[in-house]
Amino acid sequence: MKIKVLHIVVLYCLTLGGTRVFAQHVTPPRFDGAVVKVYMARLAAMAGDVAVEERIPADSLSAEVAVALRIDTLGRIVELRFLDNTCEGRDRVDLEPVTPRTRQVVERAVGRMTGTWSPARRADGLAVNYVQRLWFRLPLQRIEEQVNPDPLLFMGEVPGENFFRWVADRTGYHSYRFPTTGGRVHIRFYVEADGRVTIDKVLRSPDERLTKRVIRAIRSSEGKWTPRKVDGVPQRTAYTFRGNFINDTSN
């Protein structure tokens, strides 16, 4: 599971009436005595449980989520904010806004979490308010497998890393071909009830040539899909290819 922690910078200097006052170092909050990654792993798993219980389709959820939790001096979460590329300042992250269903799932998961936060503390031991920023992935593959007894399959498996690797191997992506290109490519397409593939929309891409190669690879996957079924009847199903192509000119 991809997990990132964004910490607040806590060392700064103020000048008040000609007197230099240095802020004390702040120790971040801990969850049940453990580092914040433990909380994120449990939160992602809890969000998956909520989605399964409420029968929320995986294709209605965002793959990645970034949030800011404001934790007060008593260790209570008093505010939850979703972070994306429309936010400003420290809240701005390189993610599209999450879907409404994703907000619903994550908010309920935060409310269900058991355990205790110890508040952030200054060097002198005084508890202080703290904003903890988290970035994590939802377990979409598990959700799809458990919500839908006849899920969409690619070469006999629920699509995920297997489909990304298959597409990446067929793009011809190498740094000598794309010397200045690297980044995320998100392309939504449909697997029709008869197994055909229909490209819907390019949601994100750093380069037109790379986009064309990815689309060509996706189209060539036709015939390798098993359509999702409801009551035994094949269904047209949306799927979003998400890949991060890393340019490494050192190779």
Angle subtended by helix axes 100-112 and 36-53, to nearest 10: 120
Are residues 18 and 108 part of one domain? Answer: yes
Give the residue, 211 or 145, on which the prediction is more confident.
211
pLDDT over threshold 70, residue 2 = no
Residue 250 domain flag: no
Please say if the pLDDT value at position 8 is more than 80. Answer: no
Same domain, 132 and 153: no
Number of separate domains in the chain: 2
Query: Could you tell me the strand order of the sheet in which 237-245 lies?
Result: 197-204, 183-191, 237-245
177-186 average pLDDT score: 78
CATH number at residue 190: 3.30.2420
Last residue of a domain, one of 143, 168, 185: 143
Are 117 and 161 within one domain?
no
Shared domain check, 191 and 116 = no
pTM, two decimals, is: 0.66
Report whether pLDDT(194) > 50: yes
Residues 127 and 39 in one domain: yes
For 166-192, what is the mean pLDDT? 83
Return the pLDDT at 10.
36
Quick one: pLDDT at residue 145? Answer: 84
Same domain, residue pair 155 and 138: no
Query: Is 94 in the same domain as 62?
Result: yes
Confidence at residue 181, expressed as pLDDT on a 0 to 100 scale: 76
Residues 239 and 204 in one domain: yes
* Cα–Cα dist 99/185, whole Å: 18
Residue 124 in any domain: the answer is yes
Domain membership of residue 251 (yes or no) is: no
- Give the residue from 126, 143, 160 where a domain finishes: 143
Domain boundary at 82, 113, 143, which?
A: 143
Q: Say if 24 falls within a structural domain.
A: yes
Is residue 120 in some structural domain? yes
Report percent pLDDT > 90 for the chain.
61
Judge if 32 and 132 occupy the same domain: yes
Are 18 and 122 members of one domain?
Answer: yes
Kindly state whether residues 15 and 86 are assigned to the same domain: yes
- Annotate 68-107 with b (16+ C-beta within 10 A) or e (fewer): bbebbeebeeeeeebbbeebeeebebebeebeebbbbbbe
Whole-number Å distance between alpha carbons of 87 and 131: 15
| 27 and 130 assigned to the same domain | yes
Domain residues for 86? 3-143
